[in-house]
């Protein structure tokens, strides 16, 4: 069991951190270029070969590793050193509870494609994510720079505020699925529901059987569409990505909390932001988009359809591959959505960011909880 956990953890580190995270920097450049009718990154090359600009992430790493790492006068050297680590580590370990596949049976062996399948998985992500706030605040304070300190104060106020809203926005999802375990949420979405089923459940009207084919995947976004919008906004604000990048605000406070950072220390802040983009994509995909579940094609359908020809073992293995590929497609779609929002919306003013949280999203999330509760009581 311990070996399996180590293997799955290494898989996440290699695929998510070492492979996808660097490529996201290329995706951001190219997607912005396409949206703005530009060519984008295409200068880094090896013997004239640019590979569509994919060498730029490697060039970024080399540049950051070879740049001088400076510490400003009067800074707290110890805290200035560990602040980027505090910001980066939570982003990496948050993926431990996000399932990248289902639960499969190979003879007597049970394979669960999640590193830590704990009962309070979503709360774990909220707790771990909040730790990154300390890295941001410490970075601004330890730099002995007024602009950095102002950025850290903005970050602490923004991140603490949106943590409250982010938690309340998904309470309705807890109520619908009846669990905080992310793997259980994904399994619950590996089915469909009748689009017109409420006529039977609410009014007791039996519809013609021919309407039974009108179905939707039992995804969280169809049960809780308002929660999807609120949660995505709140978790993007938690990551300090545009249009919620007021803690960095180059046009206002130069570079905010990481103003006095250079070299790989700045690279850690840079990397943690992009890793969190992947975590957000995986989390949203798991809660609202069915996770690894294939729409209109359940695990039983895949294994049952293939096993009759190739056997149960091959069918189960094929199901693992299909589910992982489905999950990664959904993750890439959500990464694209985040980049789309990042390059479509201008930065909010700091007071607008806070007003959106406390005056709009928070009240809506509370209303959503009561409405969800009433609907559940009514249907039951």
Average pLDDT, integer, range 7-13: 75
According to the model, what pLDDT value does residue 37 have? Answer: 85
Distance CA 137, CA 243 (A): 20
Last residue of a domain, one of 31, 66, 101: 66
Average pLDDT, integer, range 342-364: 89
Residue-averaged pLDDT of the chain: 85
**326 and 282 in a common domain:** yes
Last residue of a domain, one of 18, 46, 66: 66
Are the beta carbons of 87 and 129 closer than 8 angstroms? no
* SS3 call for 294: strand
**346 and 241 in a common domain:** yes
**323 and 214 in a common domain:** yes
Are the beta carbons of 224 and 288 closer than 8 angstroms? yes
**354 and 240 in a common domain:** yes
**115 and 43 in a common domain:** no
**179 and 84 in a common domain:** yes
**197 and 62 in a common domain:** no
According to the model, what pLDDT value does residue 155 have? Answer: 86
According to the model, what pLDDT value does residue 212 have? Answer: 67
**98 and 37 in a common domain:** no
**343 and 360 in a common domain:** yes
Structurally, the chain folds into a number of domains equal to 2
According to the model, what pLDDT value does residue 329 have? Answer: 93
The answer, as to whether pTM is greater than 0.75, is yes
The CA-CA-CA angle for residues 335, 338, 342, to 5°, reads 140
**333 and 211 in a common domain:** yes
Last residue of a domain, one of 37, 66, 95: 66
Say how many C-beta atoms besides its own lie within 10 A of residue 259's C-beta.
22
Structural domain for 37, as ranges: 1-66
CA-CA-CA-CA torsion sign (93, 99, 101, 103): positive
The yes-or-no verdict on residue 3 having pLDDT over 70 is no
| pLDDT tens for each residue of 152-180 | 888 888 888 888 899 999 999 989 998 98
**101 and 12 in a common domain:** no
According to the model, what pLDDT value does residue 171 have? Answer: 93
**155 and 26 in a common domain:** no
């Amino acid at each position: 069991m311990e070996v399996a956990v180590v293997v799955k953890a290494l898989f996440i580190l290699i695929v998510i951190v070492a492979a996808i995270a660097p490529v996201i920097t290329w995706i951001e450049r190219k997607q912005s270029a396409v949206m703005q009718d530009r060519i984008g990154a295409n200068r880094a090359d090896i013997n004239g070969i640019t590979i569509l600009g994919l060498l730029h992430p490697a060039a970024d790493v080399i540049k950051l590793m070879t740049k001088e790492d400076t510490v400003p006068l009067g800074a707290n050297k110890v805290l200035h050193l560990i602040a980027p680590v505090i910001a980066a580590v939570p982003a990496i370990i948050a993926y431990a509870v996000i399932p990248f596949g289902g639960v499969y049976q190979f003879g007597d062996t049970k394979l669960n494609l999640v590193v830590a399948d704990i009962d309070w998985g979503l709360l774990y992500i909220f707790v771990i994510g909040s730790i990154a706030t300390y890295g941001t605040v410490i970075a601004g304070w330890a730099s002995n720079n007024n602009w950095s300190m102002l950025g850290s104060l903005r970050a602490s106020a923004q991140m603490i505020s949106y943590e409250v809203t982010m938690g309340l926005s998904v309470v309705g999802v807890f109520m619908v699925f009846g669990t905080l375990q992310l793997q259980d949420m994904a399994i619950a979405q590996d089915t469909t529901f009748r689009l017109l089923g409420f006529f039977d459940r609410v009014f007791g009207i039996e519809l013609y059987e021919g309407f039974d084919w009108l179905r939707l995947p039992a995804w969280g976004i169809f049960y809780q569409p308002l929660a999807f919008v609120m949660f995505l906004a709140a978790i993007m604000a938690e990551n300090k990505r545009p249009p919620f990048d007021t803690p960095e605000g180059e046009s206002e406070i130069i570079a905010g909390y990481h103003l006095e950072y250079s070299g790989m220390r700045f690279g850690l802040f840079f990397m943690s932001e992009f890793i969190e983009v992947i975590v957000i994509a995986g989390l949203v995909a798991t809660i609202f988009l069915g996770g690894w579940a294939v729409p209109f094609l359940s695990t039983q359908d895949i294994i049952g359809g293939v096993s009759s020809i190739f056997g149960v073992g091959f069918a189960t293995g094929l199901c693992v591959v299909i589910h992982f590929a489905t999950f990664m497609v959904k993750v890439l779609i959500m990464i694209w959505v985040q980049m789309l929002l990042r390059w479509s919306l201008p930065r909010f003013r700091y007071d607008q960011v806070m007003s959106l949280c406390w005056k709009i999203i928070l009240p809506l999330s509370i209303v959503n909880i009561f409405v969800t509760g009433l609907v559940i009581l009514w249907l039951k």
